[in-house]
Structure formats: structure tokens, C-alpha cells
Structure 1
Amino acid sequence: MQFSQLILQRYSVRSYQQMPVEKTELLKILQAGQYAPSAANKQPWHFIVVQEQKNHEQFSEIYHRNWFKNAPVYIVICADHDQTWRRQEDGKSHGDIDVAIAIDHMTLQATELGLGTCWICNFFVEKCRDFFQLPQHIEPIAILSLGYPADEKRPDKQRKSLEEIVHWEKFSL
């Protein structure tokens, strides 16, 4: 599949088939995140995979949506703030940006493999931190739900026009 087709195929899946994700496919998705670029090549990410049923049920309380409980796999993507590159001028950490790039790579790889994902940022961070007993410098940034989509109907992607979001040579509204 060409990249231009791949980006049009990806969408946020909220209904999954109850079938396991093969480990070989899961490893391809994780490797896509591993090979994402990061500021100063710091690679400040950690990927926590949750797929065992005993952990699955308890973990699903971290995000209160019924559809979330049906995802066969969760990947929690964390930033290691001791490893992030910081902009010299203002000290801005690029951990969130680096992690976002890794997640994007994983979502596109999953799409190419026929799997669906949903990128979740609005979850109970402290519950997540407690569940995994994360040290203070490791921040859970997002959860990626993963599995085979149950619904073949892809939603129509509504996007702003290029005229609304592209500025040539200077910013103007």
C-alpha cells in the first residue's frame, strides 16, 4: 500500500473483533515505534503492552468507555523525562513530541497490517501510574488500543481545507 493510501485508511477504531493479535504483528508495530525519529536521537519512550486477560480487566478501568474494554491489546506509551532532549532557550522537553511521532509510526504500521487503533490521551494518569508502579520520571503519555476492527465501515474523515491551515511566507488569518 502506498503511503498516500495508508494515511487515508487509518482511523480511530472503537469496535474490535475478539481475536488475538499475533505476536509477529505486535512486534512489527512496536518496532515501527522503536524506529521513529526523536530529538537528538534520545529515544525517550517506553512501550508497555497489556494483553493478558487478568491485567486487561483491571487496566480497562483507567479509561471509562465501554468500547475500550473490548480492545484485545493496549499499548501504554510513556516518556522518560530523564532522557528527553530539552530546548536550550526555554527548557521545553520534547518527550511528548518524540512519543507522538512513535505513536504515529505505530498507528500507520497497524493500519498497513489490517489492524485498528485508537490514540487515547484522556485517561486517568494517576491510576495508570499506580497500575504499572511507574517512577516519577516516567510519564504515561497515551494509550493505544489495538485489534482487528469489527466494523468495516470507515468514517468519513472531515478535514479543514488547505487554505484554512497553510500559510505562505507569513502567518495570516
Structure 2
Amino acid sequence: MDFLELAKKRCTTRGFKEKRIAEDDLERILSAGRVAPTACNKQPQRIIVVQEPDNILKVQKAYQTFGSQCILIVCQDKSNPLIRPFDKKCSGDLDIGIICDHMMLAARELNIGSVMVGLFDPKIIRKEFNIPEYIEPTALIILGYPSEGFLSSDRHKTERKPLQDTVRYEKYREEES
């Protein structure tokens, strides 16, 4: 499958079968995150794989898991961050987004659904998984086999803004009405 086709097939999944992800498939997903580019190759990701039922219940204290049998707690190591000197922006959140995207695309290629979540309580995750202060829980990737299949790739025709609404060439120009 070519990349654009794969990207169109990736969709948010919120409902999973009670089926464990095969170890080889999980390793492939994690490997896709491993090879993702990061600013200055800092590789700030620290990923906790959660599959045991008791630990899934711990995640559920911070966010719902939609019946998933596998959650990735994607954290960033803040002990040696890359900071943009002009405005003090840390590259870690961008890096984690790229890493998560790689893993979600790898999952979709394997017919495994995913949803990336940033709207969880990091204090609960930190406490329940004994995460030190310099490691920041940044995202959850909830993985599994969709209970109701995948959304149609055609949805982008109506659910996404056209390129001319989101892309500017050479300089920023407000949309003409």
C-alpha cells in the first residue's frame, strides 16, 4: 500500500475486541516508533506497554480504554531537552507526536486500530506507574482490533478541509471570503 493510501486508512478507533495483539505485531509497532525522527536525534520517548488487566485498570483511572488489551503510555524524558533558544519551546511534544504517528500508521498497516489521547490525567498515570518527575507522561496510544471495523478512507473527501483552506505558499495570507 502506498503511503497516502495508508494515511487515509488510519482512523480513530474507540471500541476494541477482547483480543490480545500478537507479540510480533506489537514489536513492529514499537519499532516504527523507535525509528521515528526526533529533533537532534534526542529520542526522548520512554514507552510503557500496558497489557495486564490490573494495569489496564490503572490506566482507566486516568482515561477510558474502550476495551483495549494494549495501551502505550508514551512519555518524554525531560532530563536533557532540546529547547529552541528564540522562544524556549521544547521539541519534546513534537517528537512524541511524530513517534505516535509512526506507531499508529504501523498499527493500521497491521489492521490494528488506535486512538491517540492527550486528554488524560498525567498525575494518575505518574502515580500508578511509578514514573519519576523527569519523565513526563505525554500521550496514550490505545491499540486493538476494532470491534466495528475501520472508517472508510473516503471520509476525507467531506471531513477534511480542502488544501486551499490550510496551505499558503510563500507567505501567510488570510483566506479570501
Aligned to 2:17: 17
Distance in 1 between the 2:66 and 2:2 partners? 32
Distance in 2 between the 1:59 and 1:164 partners? 38
Does structure 2 retain, via aligned residues, the 8 Å contact 1:116–1:146?
A: yes
Task: Report Cα offsets for 1:18-63 as digits up to 9, x if no partner.
Answer: 1110111001100100100011100011010000112112321211
Please give the residue correspondences for 1:59-138 in structure 2 after superposition, counting only pairs within 5 Å.
59-63=59-63, 65=64, 68-138=65-135
Runs of 5+ consecutive residues of structure 1 not aligned to the other structure? none
Task: Report Cα offsets for 1:143-164 as digits up to 9, x if no partner.
Answer: 0000011112515341011111
Aligned to 2:44: 44
3-state SS, counterpart of residue 61 of structure 2: helix
The count of aligned residue pairs is: 170
The percent of aligned pairs where both chains have the same amino acid is 35
Structure 1 residues 49 and 153 mapped into 2: Cα distance closer, same or farther (>3 Å)? closer
3-state SS, counterpart of residue 31 of structure 1: helix
Aligned to 1:164: 165
Distance in 1 between the 2:95 and 2:58 partners? 28
Amino acid at match of 1:10: R
- TM-score scaled by structure 2? 0.92
